[in-house]
Amino acid sequence: MKTIPALLITLLLAMALLPGCTSPATDALGKTSASATPAETPHILVFTRTAGYHHESIPTGVQTLRELGQAEGIEVTQSDDPSLFNDASLARFDAVVFLSTTGDVLDDTQQAAFERYIGKGGGYMGVHAAADTEYDWPWYGRLVGAWFHSHPKGLQTTLVRFEGDEAALAPDWQTTDELYNYRSNPRADVNVIATVDESRYQGGTMGADHPIAWCSNRLGGRAWYTGLGHTDAQYADAVFRAHLLRGLRYAIGRANAC
């Protein structure tokens, strides 16, 4: 097993925060973000409504996103109020983060507004239980990439293997988290950026290819999801924070690579 020196992780995170590493808020097709122009301060909505299981780590996740946002020059608004999902309110945000949301969190009118927002180029970032959300909304299933199916009892320790550009974060990262099994493998429809090694823990059901993080832009805007983030401790991990930062930068259109 490879380990990552703390100094290297610190340097990677610092490099990600350099102003010179940013790019205009356009997607891979050259479309401008749905809300703010590149000259404006990016603004994200962190949506935390739960209609099912409520994760105790949500406040820690919100604080982490605030800290990353402050370092990156991103304004962060947190709310569990679904009434913000209307055309006028959503237009204020470059991206919406579903942070461990669960169950049915939006009504039909709010869902339609969010579909229009993403269709016009708005960004989406899902964290952990965002995949345990809105099972009766097929469009959301395509946005998040795959729905939650189950997880082993307790927490699992394994290796996360990053793919593509995100492999620079760590070649093999050992972490402890609640590792979701998904209803389907999303690889055919998304760009997988991380997998977990099921051979190192009990209870995995997806086999040799078990994606845990991915991105796509197939619905008009940018979508990025990570299945990690169950525990408070995870949000203190430098690799996970760098992983989230890449997701934020992709979702708001500041980076073309996810």
d(CA 210, CA 95): 27
d(CA 134, CA 115): 13
Q: What is the pLDDT of residues 93-115, one digit of tens each?
A: 999 999 999 999 999 999 999 99
Q: What is the pLDDT of residues 223-254, one digit of tens each?
A: 999 999 999 999 999 999 999 999 999 999 99
d(CA 43, CA 28): 20
Q: pLDDT band for position 143 (50/70/90)?
A: very high
Q: What is the pTM of this model?
A: 0.85
Q: What is the pLDDT of residues 10-24, one digit of tens each?
A: 444 444 444 333 333
Residue 103 φ/ψ, nearest 5 degrees: 75, -160
Asked if residue 162 has pLDDT above 50, the reply is: yes
Domains contained in the chain, CATH given: 6-13+37-251 (3.40.50.880)
Q: pLDDT band for position 3 (50/70/90)?
A: very low
Q: pLDDT band for position 26 (50/70/90)?
A: very low
